[in-house]
Structure formats: C-alpha cells, structure tokens
Amino acid sequence: MTAFVLVPGAGGAAFYWHLVVRELERRGHEGIAVDLPSGDPDARLADYVDAVVAGADGRTGVVLVGSSLGGFSAPLACRPLQAVGLVLVNAMIPTPGETGGQWWENTGFEAAISGAAERDGRDLAADPDQRETMFHDVPPEVAQAVFERPFEQEDGIFADAWPGTWPDVPTRVVATRDDRFFPVEFQRRIARERLGTDPEEMAGGHLVALSRPVELVDLLIG
C-alpha cells in the first residue's frame, strides 16, 4: 500500500481530489487530500507547506502529488514528510528564488494560453470566469458540485520566493494533452527547462482529477 498526499491547486480544496481518493482506496492504497489556507489573506507559502505536512497527519514515506499551484508547496513538503516520490500534475514548476507572481511572466504563460486558444478557435475573452477553459471535459454533475462550493484564493502565496533546491526524490511530471490553461506544449518546455525531463502525457484537461480520475490513478500507481 502506498500513501499519496494530494495537494490541490488554486482554491486549495481537498474536494478537488475526492474521486481520486475513492479510486486509490478501491485499489488498496491511501489517498490523503489536504485543504490549504487559500482563503486566508495572511497565509504565505510556508503556511501552505505547513498545511500539507499537517494534513499528512503523522504519515511519512509518502508520495506527494501536486496539482497546478500545488507545484509550489508540494516539493517543499517532501523533506518533512520523508517523501519517497513526487508527482506534479499540470503543475507550476518553480525555480529557486522565483515567486509565484513572477512565474507567469518568467514562463511565458500568457503567450502559451493565448496561442493555444487561437489555434483551437477559442475566444478567451468570452470565458472570463475560465469555466470553459478549466471545466470543458469535467462531467456536468461533478462540475456543478464544485461550483456549489466557495472558491477563495488570496495572493499571499504568490509573494514569497521559492526557497532552497529541488528535493532529492524521484520526480515525475504529468501533463494532459487537452489542458487549455497550461497547454501541453507549454508544459513540455517548462519541464525540460526546469527539471530536465519530459512529462508523462495522458488525455484530459487541466482538472484531470475531476475529469479522468481512474486514468490518473492508473498513472499514479503504474
């Protein structure tokens, strides 16, 4: 049995992982989804890392899985949790000294998302709340369950420079081919530039834990 500590992205809701937790448990593994202090205007990067460690509830030797913004906090929890692996899923991959606020310009995010939308014939201006960008492949009933929950993301986590060096644990990068927010070609480039690796690719959009939980678990435990 492997214990997977599951770190959500913006909004910080453990609920994002509920289908993955169910599938991991069905297969005899443990999924521990953590809530992050995303609604706290005073919470900084260290507070997010502390929340991940606290959410593990004393477990060590875990595999950490970080989605999207979780790419900033999950790697920093590897040492205190004595992690045996790290998986980044459609994640922001930081470099030492870079803030979350700087990441967008440093990586060329705006050109990537705009270029992918233009290629696909989509109008980003017509999707101001990003529901089509984020939820286009999420089943309607699952998306509705998410929409019924409050979404809060304060900016404190974006202000702190990412400290230290990359954790010395086996690290995998997972990118989904249908991601409209972090297009797959963008993720390939960032993974190669920052970690010297090619991502493992699968079908699905940015919120793949909601749209394809079974396939994601196949990959996590594979």
Terminal-residue alpha carbon distance, the chain: 13
Domains and CATH numbers, the chain: 3-221 (3.40.50.1820)
Q: What is the pLDDT of residue 191?
A: 98
H/E run at residue 198: none
The per-residue pLDDT for range 143-176, each reduced to its tens digit, is 999 999 999 999 999 999 999 789 999 999 999 9
Q: pLDDT-based confidence at 122, cuts 50/70/90?
A: very high
- CA distance linking residue 37 with residue 67, whole number of Å: 15
Residue 135: which of 179, 173, 91 has the closest Cα? 179
Among 64-68, 125-129, 211-215, name the one with the lowest average pLDDT: 125-129
pLDDT above 90 covers a percentage of the chain that reads 99
Query: Is-contact 29 23, C-beta < 8 A?
Result: no
Q: What is the pLDDT of residue 164?
A: 76
**What average pLDDT does the chain have?**
97
Q: Is pLDDT at 26 greater than 90 in this prediction?
A: yes
Average pLDDT over residues 79-98: 98
Q: What is the pLDDT of residue 222?
A: 85
- CA distance linking residue 178 with residue 174, whole number of Å: 12
